[in-house]
A and B are shown apart, each in its own frame.
Chain A
Amino acid sequence: MRKAIQKRMEAKKYVWEGAIPLQIHLHESQVTTLPPPPPALILAPRIGYLPLLVPLIKPHFSSTLPPGVDTIWFEYRGLPLKWYIPTGVLFDLLCAEPERPWNITVHFRGYPGNVLIPCDGEDSVKWSFINSLKEAAYIINGNCKNVMNMSQSDQLELWHSVMNGNLEAYLRVSSKLKLATIEDEYTSLCSSKSQQGSGETDFTGQVKTGRVPVRLYVWSISEDFDDWEDLSQVDSWEKISYINRPIEIHKEGKCFTLHDAMKSLLPEFFSDESLSDSKLARVDFEDAQKIPSEDVSSNKVVEDQGQNAYEHREACCISSSAEIKLIRIQGIEPKLEIPFSWLVNNLLNPDHFLHICVCVKVPQ
Chain B
Amino acid sequence: MMDVFNWDGTVSAKDFRIGALSFAQKWESLNSAFPPWSWVPCPKHPWLASPEVDIDQNSQTDPGEEETSCSEKEDDIDDATLVQSNHHELHYCDFHIVYSYTFRVPVLYLRAYCSDGRPLLLDEIEKELPACSSKESPETKWAFITQEEHPYLKRPWYKLHPCGTSEFMKLLFLGGDTGQPKLEVVLELYLLSWFSAVGQVVGLRIPCKMLNDRR
Contacts and interface: CB of A to CB of B under 8 A. Distances in A.
Nearest to B44: A243
Nearest to A143: B163
Given A285-B13, A291-B43, A138 B102 contact: yes
A294 B42 CA distance: 13
Interface string B111-149: 000000001000000000000000000000000001111
17 contacts: A82-B149, A113-B119, A116-B156, A117-B148, A117-B149, A134-B163, A139-B102, A241-B44, A242-B151, A243-B44, A245-B102, A246-B102, A285-B13, A285-B14, A288-B14, A289-B41, A289-B43
Contacts of A363: none
A246 B146 CA distance: 21
A323 to B, nearest CB: 18
A175 B45 CA distance: 33
Given A134-B163, A288-B14, A245 B146 contact: no
Given A114-B119, A135-B102, 5 more contacts: A139-B102, A241-B44, A245-B102, A284-B14, A285-B14
How many interface residues does chain A have, given as a range? Answer: 20 to 34
B46 A289 contact: yes
Contact of B146 (A131, A138, A290): A131
A279 to B, nearest CB: 16
Contacts of B46: 285, 289
B154 A242 contact: yes
B46 to A, nearest CB: 7
How many interface residues does chain B have, given as a range? Answer: 20 to 34
B47 to A, nearest CB: 12
A118 B147 contact: yes
A43 interface: no
A245 B154 CA distance: 16
Interface string B1-17: 00000001000111001
5 closest pairs, A vs B, by CB? A285-B13, A245-B101, A117-B156, A289-B43, A291-B72
A289 B8 CA distance: 26
B103 interface: yes
Nearest to A290: B43
A282 to B, nearest CB: 9
Given A117-B148, A245-B101, A237 B154 contact: yes
Interface of A: 82, 113-118, 131, 134-135, 138-139, 142, 144, 213, 237-238, 241-246, 284-286, 288-291, 293-294
Interface in B88-114: 101-103
A114 B155 contact: yes
A305 B151 CA distance: 36
A113 B120 CA distance: 12
Contact of A144 (B14, B44, B149, B163): B163
Contacts of A243: 44-45
Nearest to B13: A285
Nearest to A282: B12
Interface in B150-177: 151, 154-156, 163
- Looking at B12, B72, B101, B156, the one whose CB has the most chain A CB atoms below 10 A away is B101
Nearest to A286: B43
B163 A246 contact: no
A138 B44 CA distance: 20
Contacts of B119: 113-114
Contacts of A139: 102
Interface string B162-199: 01000000000000000000000000000000000000
B155 A244 contact: no
Contacts of B45: 243
Contacts of B13: 284-285
B6 to A, nearest CB: 13
Nearest to B42: A289
Contacts of B14: 284-285, 288
Interface in B39-70: 41, 43-46
A190 B78 CA distance: 58
Contacts of A144: 163
Contacts of A237: 154
Contact of B43 (A113, A244, A294): A294
Given A117-B147, A289-B43, A294-B43, A138 B156 contact: no
Nearest to B15: A285
Contacts of B148: 117
A241 B70 CA distance: 11
Contacts of A238: 154
A218 B29 CA distance: 39
